[in-house]
Structure 1
Amino acid sequence: MGAPVVLQVAATPASPALVLRPWRTEDVAALVEVSRDPALRQWASSAVDNDADGARWVQAQQQGWVAGDRFGFATLEAQPGSVREQLVGNVVLKEVTSGKPAAEVGYWTAAHARGRGVASRALEALTNWAFATFEADGLERLELLHQVDNLASCRVAQKGRYDFDTVLPAAPPSFPRDGHLHIRRRTSV
């Protein structure tokens, strides 16, 4: 991908600006901290219990960038009166393959940042970047999957103009309950 990709999301009246950038080793402590949230653990496909887990998770994100098939972005928010940024979530584009018309998106939001539009704003930035970056590779649609009882994720999909497509049957252990498939096509960008 060449130079590191950094996506900027403008501030809103209710929320500070967001910065989306590839995960770094220095993000491990913040990742471990936000991963203690029971709600996040309920929906996450992998558990981050300690620094070793966090380091493995971040390394997996970095390996996806190198392989060119998975692009995970730490979602950070500016802190008022500080030059520091705080981890507020993650967005990811995955299963990217040249010539394949579809890829998948995913996201999570840290407990302290929920209810402020972080996931929907980050998802919109990721969606626009994905369609612009992989247009020549034939990317035509993005798929968003979530468990049927994850109502917050369903609202993020709707805000992001990902249309509900179908109910998917459970596929334990990763997806122990039925899921929703939402799709956004390039033409709706």
Structure 2
Amino acid sequence: MNEHQTVILNAGATPSAPALLLRPWRTEDVAALVEVFRDPTLRRWTSSGVENEADALRWIRDQERNWATGDHLAFAVLETQPQPTSTQGQLAGHVILKEAATGKPSAEVGYWTAAHARGRGVAPRALEALSDWAFDTLGPDGLERLELLHQVDNPASCRVAHKSRYPLDTVLAPAPPAYPREGHLHVRHRAG
């Protein structure tokens, strides 16, 4: 899936929030990424360490390499103006499709939301757009299910999962040190 430069997804506006544009990460996102990662809540739930512009550039380059290999397909989530384009909008979050491959029946999704954008449905709308795109793009090649995982003590992620049609499937045992607490596995199946 190295055609990442042309992949742009949209999620409609709501009465209380602007439309969203999802596109692959770009080097011009460095400053916004550094700013977003100043949030201690975001840092608590992500494994990425973005402290400065060099870290942000390295993180974005990793996303570009992952697109080139097709291993992880990450999107910057932007809140757009009335006429969305691929270059405008404020960084509101991130969604990712992990371990997606032709013929593989499952993949994992992940996301985070910038502090300033929380409470406006950014994560559920972005996750819906990503999920629909994944099933439309990879479903004909065998993708049947998407998995969303989070720690049990992250109720906000549980709400996002349910709003995005990812019902709880299994409670997972802790797996220290990376996952010191129980986890939730939410699963969404491709519509028949």
TM-score range (shorter-chain normalised) is over 0.9
Local SS of the residue matching 2:103: coil
Offset of 1:82 from its aligned partner?
10
Q: How many correspondences in the alignment?
A: 188
d(CA) in 2 for partners of 1:174, 1:52 = 25
RMSD: 1.8
Q: Match of 2:169?
A: 165
Aligned match of 2:66:
64
The percent identity for this pair of structures is 65
> Aligned with 1:135: secondary structure?
helix
Alignment of 1:101-116 (within 5 A): 101-116=105-120
8 Å Cα contact 1:78-1:86 kept in structure 2? yes
Could you tell me how far apart the structure 1 residues matched to 2:82 and 2:67 are? 31
- Please report the TM-score for the alignment, with normalisation by the length of structure 2: 0.93
User: Hey, what does 1:29 align to over in structure 2?
Assistant: 31
8 A contact 1:161–1:184 mirrored in 2: yes
- Answering whether residue 137 of structure 2 is matched by residue 152 of structure 1, we say no
Q: Which deviates more, 170-179 or 48-57?
A: 170-179
For 2:109 and 2:84, the matched residues in 1 are separated by 31
Residue equivalent to 1:94: 98
- Helix, strand or coil for the counterpart of 1:181? strand
Distance 1:156 1:131 in 2: 19
SS at match of 1:136: helix
Change (3 A) 1:142 1:82: closer
Contact 2:19–2:81 (8 Å) recurs in 1: no
Contact 2:21–2:84 (Cα < 8 Å) also in 1: no
* Aligned 8 A contact 1:79 1:86 in 2: no
TM-score by length of 1: 0.94
Contact (CA 8 Å) 1:10, 1:17: kept in 2 or not?
yes
Which blocks of at least 5 consecutive residues in structure 1 are unaligned? none
Aligned residue runs from structure 1 range 178-189, under 5 A: 178-187=182-191
1:168 to partner: Cα distance: 1.2
Unpaired stretches in structure 2, ≥5 consecutive residues: none
Q: Which moved more, 1:93-102 or 1:31-40?
A: 93-102
Contact 2:96 2:109 in 1 (8 A): yes
Partner Cα separation in structure 2 for residue 33 and residue 175 of structure 1: 26
**Hey, what's the Cα distance between the residues in 1 that align with 2:82 and 2:61?**
30
Runs of at least 4 residues off by over 4 Å: 79-83
CA distance in 1, matches of 2:95, 2:162: 16
Query: Does the aligned pair in 2 maintain the 1:144–1:181 contact within 8 Å?
Result: yes
